[in-house]
Structure 1
């Protein structure tokens, strides 16, 4: 069996707030937006890469922040990314952490409180 990652789903309270974060601040491309069974959905990511699926649930996110789930992205410049996020009003929640000489990362929280890891290998 040869499996490939297709997408990761986050159930979010407010799709527009999440899009403002993931698209507006982090710069992920909105591949498409649609509605299914009365729920607004957005798929984000680069062509040929796994997607981030955001499903609006309304008043409560189905997954709880602190559940051990985080989403990770690679960045070319850890310091530059930290400065850009800070300038957008997104504070670092943990880090930077350097578990190995070739890996450094930090975490921020999305609008629903999910951890987003920004990592730099090099």
Structure 2
């Protein structure tokens, strides 16, 4: 079996707040937005890459405390930290450097899910 990651689904309480975070602040492009079974759904991510699927709902299928996080790669961790701080997004943890080739930190999305920003050198 040959599999590739297609998307990760996050059930969010406030779709507009989540869109502001993932699209407006993190800069993920909106691939498409639609309604299915009465719920608003937005697929975000660059062409040819796995997507983040946001589904509007009042009760998340996973609670932020469940240990799920979403990770992104950046070319400059320091620039990412400054950009997020300038937009009022505080660091939740880090930056951490577990080895000489990796540095990362975490911020929280509007529902409290951890979002990891990493730089590999």
Normalised to the residue count of structure 2, the TM-score between the two structures is: 0.98
Instruction: Provide the secondary structure at the position in 2 that maps to 1:80.
Output: helix
SS in structure 1 of the partner of residue 16 of structure 2: helix
- RMSD, aligned α-carbons: 0.6
Displacement of 1:66 in angstroms is: 1.5
SS of equivalent to 1:66: helix
Aligned twin of 1:36: 36
Q: Within 5 Å, give how 1:36-75 maps onto structure 2.
A: 36-58=36-58, 60-75=59-74
Distance (Å, rounded) in 2 between the aligned partners of 1:88 and 1:66 = 25
- The normalised TM-score by structure 1 is 0.97
Could you list the structure 1 runs, at least 4 aligned residues long, displaced by more than 6 angstroms after superposition: none
Distance in 2 separating the partners of 1:17 and 1:62: 18
What is the Cα deviation at residue 62 of structure 1?
2.3
Q: How does 1:1-122 map to 2 (within 5 A)?
A: 1-58=1-58, 60-122=59-121
- For 2:37 and 2:56, how far apart are their aligned partners in 1? 11
Unaligned residue ranges in structure 2 (runs of 5+): none
Structure 1, gaps ≥5 residues long: none
